[in-house]
């Protein structure tokens, strides 16, 4: 049995699965349920001056029959008094001393205000702080959340103020609603943050009701942009985690957030350089029990790979990501259809015919069946047919081009 203990800049938890600062960590009652289910840590719903929320607040992106493939929200930070939250934090930490409890904080950009909040919160036995520079709605209009996260100089300044008084590790949570997340990450690092977490939610409008002509989620017939999250944001989050993990100027640990629902999602974040992961939408959709399989699956996976802990996993694939101009132009893959497993839905045919390179033929056999045969001479190895195949009977096969590897960078350098 592998040891699943995770360590994010000195914040230890028995497993790498934390609940992100969000509705599931709104109260001690919920956090106790989460810890009972097995979650390794929680980032408490952001503490600050209590706000007033609106109804409704959430909306689902439903794809075909799949509800909450994505979701967005316009809920703000905690609407409960600080003392109530702190009392519950204390109770949870006492009941589960081995779990990580991180306090998410939000304040106006004033040194004294931040100092006061940090000092008060760390009177409790917390394991760390997460500075919410990500919330993209409501709070940002008041100069907080992503309004800070969109200004690297403010990120650096606030991180610095917090580090002046903080006695526990400080994580800076970054917004993806920027041109290049590395600028915010570098600023956090420069300000002295011990770690960064990403991504917070993405600016989004979920939709418009075709009959009422009102947006969703609607508040008395109106809406504002919300924060998008859930399974469909994972690729965006992975890219940003990868960017920061590979950036020498960032150089601090990362807590990966964005669309994590299973242990496999978590492993991908770890492989690209995250030290742990945070989960919200999946818990909102299915409840806290999902962590049981996340733990079991990750443990079995590590065993199957002969890994005793998470350490060999973290960053293992980090350096397989590079820029496009470093990719080998002379590498060639072609598709091949396993005729025995093909069910003849012809989805690969029409995908290639209409949207790729017209390299799959329907070849009529003597038994009247039209086999799908790849014209490997012209196949550009794009993967599309393999992706649309519902039974995974198309394999991409490497072809020896007989040419030495050559990247665009090398080719243009040779021409210069």
Partner 1 sequence: METPFPGADIHKPLSKAEVSIESSRCLYCYDAPCMNACPSHIDIPGFIWQIADGNVKGAARTILESNAMGASCARVCPVSELCEGACVYHHDDTPIRIGDLQRYATDHVRETGEQIFAAGPETGKKVAIIGGGPAGLSTARDLRRFGHAVTIFDAHEELGGLNTYGIVPFRLATDVALWEAKQVTDMGVTVLANTRVGTDVRMEDLVRDFDAVVIACGMGGVPSLMIEGEERAWDALDFIERAKTGKPLQGELGDHVAVIGAGNTAIDALTCAKRLGVERVTCYYRRGEESMTAYDFEYEFAKQEGIEFRLFCAPVKIDDDGLHLVKTKLEHGRLHTIPGTEFVEKVSTVISAIGQGRLLETLEGLGVAVDDGVVRVDEHMNTTRKGVFATGDVIYAKGQREAMVVEAAQQGKIAAKAIEAYLMPDRQPAPPAPLPKLTPAGHSHDRRTITNVTPYPVSAAGPGA
3-class DSSP state of 264: helix
* CB of 179 or CB of 367, closer to partner 1: 367
The residues of the shown chain that bind partner 1, judged by CB under 8 A, are 64-66, 332, 334, 336, 343-347, 349-350, 357-358, 361-366, 370-371, 373-378, 380, 390-391, 397, 399-400
Residues in the chain: 416
E strands, 133-289, are 170-173, 195-198, 202-204, 207-208, 215-216, 226-229, 254-257, 276-279
Is 109 annotated as catalytic? no
* CB of 326 or CB of 358, closer to partner 1: 358
Q: Do the Cβ atoms of 106 and 158 come closer than 8 Å?
A: no
Q: How far is the CB of 380 from partner 1 (least distance, A)?
A: 7
Closest CA to 175 of 196, 205, 206: 196
* CB of 327 or CB of 343, closer to partner 1: 343
CA 157 – CA 108 distance, rounded (Å): 12
Q: How far is the CB of 394 from partner 1 (least distance, A)?
A: 12
Q: Do the Cβ atoms of 132 and 46 come closer than 8 Å?
A: yes
Q: How far is the CB of 376 from partner 1 (least distance, A)?
A: 5
CA 372 – CA 362 distance, rounded (Å): 5
Q: How far is the CB of 134 from partner 1 (least distance, A)?
A: 33
Burial class (CB in 10 A: 0-12, 13-18, 19+), 205: middle
Among residues 135, 244, 280, 352, which one is catalytic?
135
* CB of 306 or CB of 390, closer to partner 1: 390
Q: How far is the CB of 332 from partner 1 (least distance, A)?
A: 7
* CB of 318 or CB of 347, closer to partner 1: 347
CA 350 – CA 389 distance, rounded (Å): 11
- What positions carry a catalytic annotation? 135
């Amino acid at each position: 049995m592998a040891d699943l203990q995770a360590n994010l800049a000195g914040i230890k938890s028995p497993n790498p699965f934390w609940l992100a600062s969000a509705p599931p960590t709104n109260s001690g009652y919920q956090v106790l349920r989460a810890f009972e289910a097995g979650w390794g840590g929680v980032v408490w719903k952001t503490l600050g001056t209590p706000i007033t929320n609106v109804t409704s607040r959430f909306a689902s992106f439903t794809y075909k029959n799949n509800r909450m493939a994505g979701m967005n929200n316009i809920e703000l930070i905690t609407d409960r008094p600080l003392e109530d939250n702190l009392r519950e934090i204390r109770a949870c930490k006492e009941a589960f001393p081995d779990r990580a409890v991180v306090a998410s904080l939000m304040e106006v950009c004033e040194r004294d205000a931040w100092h006061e909040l940090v000092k008060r919160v760390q009177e409790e036995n917390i394991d760390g702080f997460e500075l919410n520079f990500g919330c993209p709605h409501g709070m940002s209009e008041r100069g907080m959340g992503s309004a800070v996260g969109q200004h690297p100089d403010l990120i650096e300044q606030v991180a610095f103020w917090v580090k002046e008084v903080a006695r526990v590790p400080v994580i800076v949570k970054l917004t993806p609603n920027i041109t290049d997340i590395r600028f915010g990450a570098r600023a956090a690092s420069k300000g002295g943050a011990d770690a960064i977490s990403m991504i917070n939610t993405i600016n989004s409008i979920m939709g418009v009701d075709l009959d009422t002509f009102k947006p969703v989620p609607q508040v008395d017939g109106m809406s504002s942009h919300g924060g998008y999250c859930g399974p469909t944001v994972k690729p965006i989050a992975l890219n940003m985690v990868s960017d920061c993990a590979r950036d020498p100027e960032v150089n601090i640990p990362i807590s990966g957030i964005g669309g994590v629902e299973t242990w496999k999602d978590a492993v991908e974040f770890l492989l690209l350089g995250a030290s742990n992961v945070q989960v919200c939408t999946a818990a909102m959709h299915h409840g806290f029990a999902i962590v049981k399989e996340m733990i079991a699956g990750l443990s079995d996976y590590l065993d199957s790979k002969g890994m005793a802990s998470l350490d060999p996993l973290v960053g293992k694939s980090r350096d397989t990501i590079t820029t496009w101009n470093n990719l080998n132009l002379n590498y060639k893959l072609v598709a091949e259809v396993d005729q025995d497993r093909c069910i003849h839905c012809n989805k690969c045919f029409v995908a290639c015919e209409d949207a790729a390179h017209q390299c799959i033929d329907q070849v009529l056999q003597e038994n009247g069946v039209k086999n799908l045969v790849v014209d490997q001479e012209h196949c550009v190895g794009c993967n599309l047919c393999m992706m649309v195949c519902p039974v995974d009977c198309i394999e991409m096969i490497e072809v020896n081009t007989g040419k030495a590897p050559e990247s665009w960078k090398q080719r243009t350098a040779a021409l210069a």
